[in-house]
Amino acid sequence: MKMLLVMVVVTVGGVVAGLAQDPGEAQDALAERQKILKAADQLDLLVQQNSQLTQQLAALQERLQKLETVSGELRAQLAQQQKDWATEREKLLKEVARLVATGGKTGQPAGEVGAPPEPVPAAGLEPGFEYVVQAGQSLWAIADAYQKNGVKVTVEDLRKANNLGKNDLLQVGQKLFIPKK
């Protein structure tokens, strides 16, 4: 493209030299030559800018490709995480269902209630038993175990005797008084 402009300028220069006899025409030819040189410079500038923009576009396309790859990897990880959470949720729901079906018994030997100990009469209080709560036990399980061993005690009796509210939460090692009826 630049070569074409040089040829045009040389041609215009030859015409200007041939028309040197008329000063007005010579000035017009000189002005035309300056316009052509200015246009050639602008064209060079546009070619440079186009080259820079093409390089920037290539760099942006490369970054976009990398981002799409990372995005795909993140989507795969998220899908796997959601599957893992769903699996864990199902396991937890099955465990809760099992616990509900077994009346809250966890199946841990430490949570089983054995035979009631011998009565421990408290000074000035009604006769009964002292019991130390173990892991996984509830008022219901403790009352049930004592009932199976001939002590007529209910969950409500245990609440009243131990000043417990409607909350059946027990602590491991907590001592309970089991009233004997």
Mean pLDDT of the chain, nearest integer = 80
The reported pLDDT for the residue numbered 125 is: 58
Domain 109-179 has CATH 3.30.70: no
Q: Which regions of the chain are under pLDDT 70?
A: 1-21, 99-126, 168
* In the chain, domain spans: 2-100, 109-179
pLDDT for the residue numbered 171: 87
Other beta carbons within 10 angstroms of residue 116's beta carbon come to 21
User: 107: left (phi > 0), else alpha (psi -120 to 50), else beta?
Assistant: left
Per-residue pLDDT at 104: 57
